[in-house]
Amino acid sequence: MDRSRLPLLWAALLCATTGFGPVACGDDEMDTAGETEAGTTDGSDETTEGGATDAETETSGGEEIQFTPAEGGMRRLLHAQYVDSIALLLGGEAAAAAEGAGLPTDSPLHDFDAIGNAELALTGTGVEDYEAAATAAATAAIGDTTRLATYVPCVADGPQDASCYTEIAEVWGHLAWRRAPTIEEVDRVRAIAEAAQAWGDGDFLTGVKYELMAILQSPNFVYMAEVGEPDPDNPERMLLTPNELITRMSFFLQGRTPDRQLLELAESGGLETEGQIRTVAKHMLSKPAARVALANFYDEALHLRDLPTIGKSPGQYPDFNDELTDAMRQSMLLFVDDLVFEQDADARELFSADYAYVNAPLAELYGVSAPGDDWGLATLPESHGRAGFLGSAAFLARFAHAIDTSPTRRGNFILGKFLCAEAPPPPANVNPNLPEPDPDNPMTMKQRLELHMEDDSCASCHELMDPIGFALEHFDAIGQYRTEDHNGLTIDSYGEVPGFGSFSSPAEIGQVLYEDPRTASCFVNNFVRGSMGRLETIGEAEMLYLVEEVFANDGYSLQDLMVELVASPVFRYVTEPSE
């Protein structure tokens, strides 16, 4: 692979902010148990262009690949995954009720909610929150049994007796738990339903309500199990079971529990080869749910979801309001959705695009003509040096202070998110405060930071971050272009980091990132972190490099990258969890 040809990957979707995921957006289940729009899962090992066969995942150029899987375990569903799964299982009203009841918050670690949900224990209050959400969802479900009846017709058509409770546990419980319940589990859940019916003066639906509550509160629903079973070819590693694999794929690619056709496909041997896995992954990516899932992922990864909560000085920025922050966020979601799903274009346009989606408020901020409709494409002024995400108001406003810019925040985010090269933590005795402004001798933000870097304890970190941020100084704390700062001082936007590059604008930083050999591997790593809830490991490095090679060979298609990742042994194998 030519390691100078490197990408950045993003995706998103309008529907992610307007409904309860794929159900509200008109998604449907898989068309058949064994056939997809992309092809068939006939057990063959044929692969997509640029993909690797099963044999090729073990060697590269005749050299054996060293691979040690990461540990398996249990991982709690993300907030959005829980809500969208309820929508699939019980309908949009039930999903809204569950969300309205208050779910436990996601707690990020290493800048990813998925890692936090994998590593942090649920509190007692969190358990109570899940009970409230399950109660609300079940109450809504018995108020309108339409969705539940598509899986278990007896709730609407009868017989409404103990046999229906058994069917709910066996059929709907199978779907909710993403595996078949055992006989003992079916008996326990049915007993809960029968006791609730007796308590409710013989009302059948009261029994249904408490049965649904029991299933939804179970760790079998709230958590994903990823422990695997012994690999017959290598007893030192575990192969995810078909149910675990389709679950991991579905939550990554569609943001929700797998539908019944996907479960049936997995359980009937439809994921035994890498060719089959790729076919199913492509099918998933063709669905509206995939756009929702990836939008949620990058809404988090790019910190777009933080925009409604940031504050700016009303005196300095009187036009900064909710309408503008909503526009900033939506603009990036429109851009990446078009780039990834409509065009399936080279993902590196995220750095180089000289256009943006704008509405009237955002067009005014960017200094371009407002579109005739609500949203439209506008070419950005070349003289401003905007390009892609780094030139977006969404990024520039999020990583700035209330009044002034923050080259440090902006530079640190670029290092960590795009290069996986976070600056080291500051020494314990460091003074984090910048020199106080002198009204009689005003300095630009760059000058103040350069003075700050004269302190050796500060320089070790700031010399990596701040020069990158200097190149963004032509954009104020809400992302407006300027030639002077708020003190009337002329902006100097030149920055240089030895071993990285020099730059004076977002477009020039983007070009350096485009050419840096760390960029592609970093964004592969970001997908590992978000899809599997953990950091990548040394033992996976060579396998992940193969994923990166396919990504480059396929023209830096983000869709192809996701397909290749789920087909990789990194995604399919684990080792036994440590105690």
- Looking at 486, 515, 544, the residue that finishes a domain is 515
Task: Output the pLDDT for position 523.
Answer: 82
pLDDT of 495-519, one tens digit each?
Answer: 999 888 999 999 999 999 888 888 8
Instruction: Say whether both 219 and 304 belong to one domain.
Output: no
In a domain, 199, yes or no: yes
Reduced 3-state DSSP string for 224-258: EEECCEEECCEEEEEECCHHHHHHHHHHHHCCCCC
Q: How large is the C-alpha radius of gyration of the chain?
A: 26
Q: Are residues 466 and 374 in the same domain?
A: yes
What confidence score (pLDDT) does residue 440 get?
Answer: 74
Q: Is residue 327 part of a domain?
A: yes
What six digits make up the tokens of 372? 């005739």
CB 410 within 8 A of CB 394: no
Q: Work out the percent of the chain whose per-residue pLDDT is above 90.
A: 72
- Per-residue burial over 411-432, b = 16 or more CB atoms within 10 Å of its CB, e = otherwise: bbbbbbbbbbebbeeeeeeeee
Please give the tally of structural domains in the chain: 2
Closest CA to 449 of 462, 468, 431, 430: 462
First to last CA, the chain: 39
- The per-residue pLDDT for 463 is 86
* Per-residue pLDDT at 414 exceeds 50: yes
The reply to whether 502 and 412 lie within a common domain is yes
Helix 506-515 crosses helix 407-419 at what angle (to 10 degrees)? 30
121 class by beta-carbon count within 10 Å (0-12 exposed, 13-18 middle, 19+ buried) = exposed
Structure token pair of residue 222: 């709230």
Cis peptide before 242 (omega within 30 of 0): no
The bridge status of strand 223-226 relative to strand 73-76 is: antiparallel
Region of poorest pLDDT, from 49-58, 279-288, 433-442: 49-58
pLDDT of 50 over the 70 cut: no
**Whether residue 106 is found in the same domain as residue 215:** yes
Domain annotation covers residue 172: yes
Beta-carbon contacts of 289 under 8 Å, excluding residues fewer than 6 positions away, are 21, 22, 25, 27, 84, 254, 255, 256
Contact predicate 251/257, CB 8 Å: yes
- pLDDT value for 458: 67
Q: Where does residue 515 rank: exposed (0-12), middle (13-18), buried (19+ CB within 10 A)?
A: middle
Both 491 and 356 in a single domain? yes
Helix%, strand%, coil% for the chain, nearest 5: 55, 10, 40
The residue from 515, 547, 570 where one domain ends is 515
Query: Is the domain of 304 the same as that of 217?
Result: no
Q: Which residue has the higher pLDDT, 448 or 538?
A: 538
Closest listed residue to residue 380, CA positions, set 506, 193, 222, 552 = 506
Residue 245 domain-assigned?
A: no
pLDDT digits (tens, 9 = 90+) for 210-233: 999 999 999 999 999 999 999 998
- Domain with 108, as residue range(s), is 73-224
**Among the listed residues 439, 435, 456, 458, the one whose alpha carbon sits nearest the alpha carbon of residue 447:** 435
Q: What distance in Å separates the CA atoms of residue 561 and residue 470, rounded to the nearest whole number?
A: 33
**pLDDT tens per residue across span 338-389:** 999 999 998 888 888 999 999 999 999 999 999 987 999 999 999 999 999 9
Domain boundary among the residues 179, 209, 224 is at: 224
Residue pair 258/178 in contact (Cβ under 8 Å)? The answer is: yes
Asked if residue 185 belongs to a domain, the reply is yes
